[in-house]
Structure 1
């Protein structure tokens, strides 16, 4: 691959933020190169659900506007963000997000291969002031990876633990429900049989699944769009330094083909390297459970070691401070694989009826059907002072055979291998299970019976599972009267060890609404931009809804591209240009 010595823009990182910035800059007449440390492109985006939270997006046609978008209720979004972000709420950033999020989505869908589909996701706290029951989240449309041609081999593969034989699933409930129901529904059985047959044929020919969904589809769509524009995506090209020229950031020093290369950037550099979830020193300082000696096991790519943030700090930028949460918490289990365990993010099972989660004392501590971030925060709190942050996800035999649990698939897939390798624990009775997991038997038995007493009526008196639209959305709509609640009473019983992980970090370089990195005095550093997890989250350490990472990443990547091209005015002056 030929890499020039000078471009208008250098992008550091090839996830949603970096590729959106690259495409926007290129579409506005600038020359662009993308430098990626890993041997594959796609970043954390390729592991994700591919959902973007964009209030006023053009796919929610409740109140369409003249541009094909939605006349977003700005006051409601401000109310919701004020409620979620608390004292980190920033009205100017919310306004910028509302201005540019829908424009970004229209631009990308009109001008590139990127395509989203409507989502039925409610906000994670839909009953909060300004919360929405539907319409703010959109999901990346499925994609045929073969459209990437020879570049398909450089696309980051999806997280192994959330595939079945390498087959990807849509983030929506609709895709997975067929796999949950295939032994009970002829329609679902036919759907699953067709998916499996096609997938096996693709494995034989291409060595991997080609029917891409979720974040893998989004990463492929973005990469195809960039490559079609002639944008070079250079992998195995870690950036070690920023270059300065005439008082501004004017390029980078990267290692390409083992050689030190200086690459000049006439307009500027965009840092979009994915945050610091793999930076052990930084997470020890910022993650409360790690400070206490607890385990953290993240599913994000190994290359997310905070390189972009460190580059920005050395150029005079600074990390945002004082967030109530330093990451998007994700309860995970550790799946044994040859060569070491891999994280399984618990995105689906907890919401289904018949599961409960208990802390190390054997007591329930949270509504298990809350968002992963809220459950993770509750895990940290209930384990505070214990020196470990862990929980147990528990189900009975009927539940586990119907829905599976973690990496364990539903009937007819066998349970034995997971029990033998220690991933799954089993007991004939609740008391027996308690002894297997090191919990007081009588405490756990009493806790389960307390839960069961109301669960038999479809209620959860302790934590109110099924009381919100979000709880119910990810439950089992066919289970009555409550899609999230069923008793745990048909032995044998099973438990899965849960530890803390994350989906990415929230603190990042402080920027303005044009994605320019600010110095300690609040002045933009000329030529330096940041987006995605390298920039401070506009959510203020909160997790309001599905896609609050990808939505801002793409929006402010788009803003950075416009700003570099001189196509954006200062929001503080109340002006904007697409």
Structure 2
């Protein structure tokens, strides 16, 4: 019996994250019609919540700034950094990503995107062959969200304080008490805020700037977007996915997809059951800063169809700090009361602090790639059972010079001390006793680390040896901007957990974004991109915006492939 359809489109996109509007615009460019279906009330998915960066090697914007790149050089770096050999990181997918990324960026600019080159935001492993110390990452120009009109409140945005500053500006801003550059950046930010007040504009940055402009571009192209519309199931005929069943305004609708269905539904960071099944332990949905829509049900439905998965134990780890009994500290909630755990990438890079396990031993480059820090935390915990939680131990100068969480330089909220979130002691011996850290281990580690600070060379983990580390350091500290000794009391300590901004494993797809089964065959009519897939970068984060870049690229590829394009790259 043939299905009775309530609506028909060429391409149906489930989810509205990074690759979704890009895919819809790509369909439009070749004369096809795409529908975007979003279960939440807001459009933009995880990308709207994010730092808002694309990692797109060999892009035309970096070349405008005098940075030369090529497919060959980018591939050299990619292969050196992405050592994991899995179905999601196949030779064909690597080539598709690196060949198509520059074309996709040019396409978006033609559609109205306004890019900013994140000059100086280095590749994360820039010392590897082909690494680019000036970076290969792009951001979106600040966007006046009021240009969206009635859609403005429906844009997916991070719920914390909104400042008109892009992610690449924060390392400089963090140094407002230390450098003239930091002071100038703070004044520039103040000027923007005054400009907003005078003009009535509301400038958004980061992921909201990307998705705000993408939404504007999609609306101008008359792309239909259904919000508050959860997808219940796939419709399969003769083994092919031909549509979906969704619930809109309380009514069940059957939507036909002539040429394919694209899943861009995020991961499963907020699904406690899936975290228990797939993720390393201990693990908690309470530690995540991922999009609240990352609940994994569409991923589970695709697995039930026979979709293969890989890297399900991985996430885009960004460590977070919590108080006793994993309680959120003062300041770690949005105005509406929802949790916003602190994320500690930038402040961990700055001098006068180290991260240690319960034995008092370091286990990572604290200024390095955040995904790797989470991995190393879990590796150490698997070995010893003493690294989750770990501890950041701070010299008094860390609190004097730099921000931490929501506290500005020089501030230590009394509630942090009263609650036991931040522990204070006059000596390292006393601090170790209060935290339950091995005293001898901590003293030995600090003595060794302080020696590295004097020479400027971290002989254990190479902190400050890469351009990526140094671009987040304090240049007033010599000889290494990431190394400052732990020697001036009072001392402070905070518990650290492996938080994340999304899971990084999922459906296995080919170079065209088609979902594959365990035997390598395709599920006809089903494509996927973004955090519901096994990433093309595998178990590594080679540069800022690797997840968003890949989401856009494979969404773009899937749309063109479904439309019958003979050559995409």
**The two structures share one fold, judged by TM-score above 0.5:** yes
- Deviation readout 1:381-417 (Å, 9 max, x if unpaired): 1111528722111212222121122332223x45323
1:47 maps onto 2:45 in alignment:
no
Q: Structure 1 pair 382/63, CA: closer, same or farther in 2 (3 Å)?
A: same
Match of 2:187 among 187, 190, 208: 190
Q: What is the CA deviation profile of residues 316-339 of structure 1, one whole-angstrom value per residue up to 9, with x for unaligned ones?
A: 32213xx49522222112443565
State the secondary structure of the residue aligned to 1:124: coil
Name the counterpart of 1:401: 400
Q: What aligned pairs does 1:489-508 form with structure 2 within 5 A after superposition? A: 489-508=487-506
Shift in CA distance, 455/83, structure 1 to aligned 2, threshold 3 Å: closer
Q: Distance in 2 between matches of 1:182 and 1:258?
A: 54
The Cα shift of 1:71 comes to 5.6
SS at match of 2:342: strand
1:390 aligns with 2:373: no
**Per the alignment, do residues 136 and 220 of structure 1 end up closer, same or farther by CA in structure 2, a change over 3 Å counting?**
same
Residues 178-187 or 84-93, more deviating: 178-187
The Cα offsets for residues 267-294 of structure 1, whole Å up to 9 and x where unpaired, read as 221100012222222222222223xx78
* CA offset digits 1:228-249 (Å, max 9, x no partner): 1111222211111011245421
CA–CA distance in 2 between the matches of 1:371 and 1:7? 41
Which residue matches 1:310? 300
Where 2:31 maps in the other structure, the secondary structure is coil
- RMSD between aligned residues: 2.7
**Mapping for residues 473-484 of structure 1, pairs under 5 Å:** 473-484=471-482
Aligned to 1:229: 221
Structure 1 residue 558, shift from structure 2 partner: 0.5
Partner of 2:166: 170
Structure 1 CA distance for aligned equivalents of residues 496 and 433 of structure 2: 17
Per the alignment, do residues 325 and 539 of structure 1 end up closer, same or farther by CA in structure 2, a change over 3 Å counting? farther
1:573 is aligned to none
Question: Aligned pair in 2 of structure 1 residues 184, 417: CA closer, same or farther (>3 Å)?
Answer: farther
- Is the aligned partner of 1:181 residue 2:183? no
Retained in 1: the 8 A contact 2:164–2:192? no
Q: Which residue of 2 aligns with 1:331?
A: 319
1:89-108 Cα deviation digits (max 9, x unpaired) = 52211111122111000000
- In the alignment, is the contact (CA less than 8 A) between 1:300 and 1:504 conserved in 2? yes
Match for residue 32 of structure 2 among 18, 26, 30: 30
3-state SS of 1:266 partner: strand
Mapping for residues 367-516 of structure 1, pairs under 5 Å: 367-384=365-382, 385-386=384-385, 389-411=388-410, 413-516=411-514
Corresponding residue SS for 2:526: strand
Question: d(CA) in 1 for partners of 2:305 and 2:509?
Answer: 13
- Kindly report which structure 2 residues correspond to 1:281-296, keeping only aligned pairs within 5 A, or say none: 281-290=273-282
Deviation of 1:76 after TM superposition, in Å, equals 5.1
Structure-2 residue corresponding to 1:16? 18
Deviations 1:363-398 (A, max 9, x none): 222221111111111111111152872211121222
TM superposition shift of 1:503 = 2.5
What are the superposed Cα offsets for residues 207-265 of structure 1, whole Å, 9 maximum, x if unpaired? xxx22111121111111111111112222111110112454212111111122221222
1:529–1:497: structure 2 CA closer, same or farther, 3 Å change rule? Answer: same
- TM-score, normalised relative to structure 1: 0.88
Distance of 1:387 and 1:447 partners within structure 2: 16
Conservation of the 8 A alpha-carbon contact between 2:74 and 2:98? no
Aligned to 1:272: 264
Counterparts of 1:70-109 in structure 2, within 5 Å, are 72-74=70-72, 77-78=75-76, 80-81=78-79, 83-88=81-86, 89-109=89-109
Distance 1:458 1:82 in 2: 26
Match of 1:143 in 2: 143
Q: Deviations over 1:72-98 (max 9, x none)?
A: 142551453255233335221111112
Secondary structure, aligned partner of 2:460? coil
Q: 1:382 to 1:426 in 2, by over 3 A?
A: same
Cα distance change, pair 265–245 in 1 and its aligned pair in 2 (3 A): same
- Per-residue displacement from partner, 1:435-487 (whole Å, max 9, x unpaired)? 33222334323322332233234343333211112111211223222110111
- In structure 2, distance between residues paired with 1:62 and 1:196: 29
**For residue 251 of structure 2, what is the aligned residue in structure 1?**
259
Contact in 1 for aligned 2:312/2:504 (Cα 8 Å): no
Matched residue of 1:511: which SS?
Answer: coil
Which of residues 556, 559, 566 is equivalent to 1:558? 556
Residues 431 and 492 of structure 2 are in contact (CA less than 8 Å); yes or no, is this contact kept in structure 1? Answer: yes
Aligned counterpart, 2:232: 240
Structure 1 residues without counterparts, runs of 5 or longer:
570-575
Return the alpha-carbon distance in structure 2 between the equivalents of residues 62 and 147 of structure 1.
28
Q: Deviations over 1:535-561 (max 9, x none)?
A: 221112222221110111100010011
TM-aligned CA distance change 1:408 to 1:200, over 3 Å: farther
**1:517–1:525 Cα contact (<8 Å) kept:** yes
Q: Is the 8 A contact 1:74 1:98 kept in 2?
A: no
For 2:143 and 2:485, the matched residues in 1 are separated by: 40
Check conservation: 2:389, 2:496, Cα contact below 8 A. yes
What number of residue pairs does the alignment pair up? 550
**1:340–1:561 distance in 2 versus 1, CA, 3 Å:** closer
Partner-residue secondary structure (3-state), 1:61: helix
2:354 match: secondary structure: strand
Tell me what 2:325 maps to.
none
Matches within 5 A, 1:56-67: 56-61=58-63
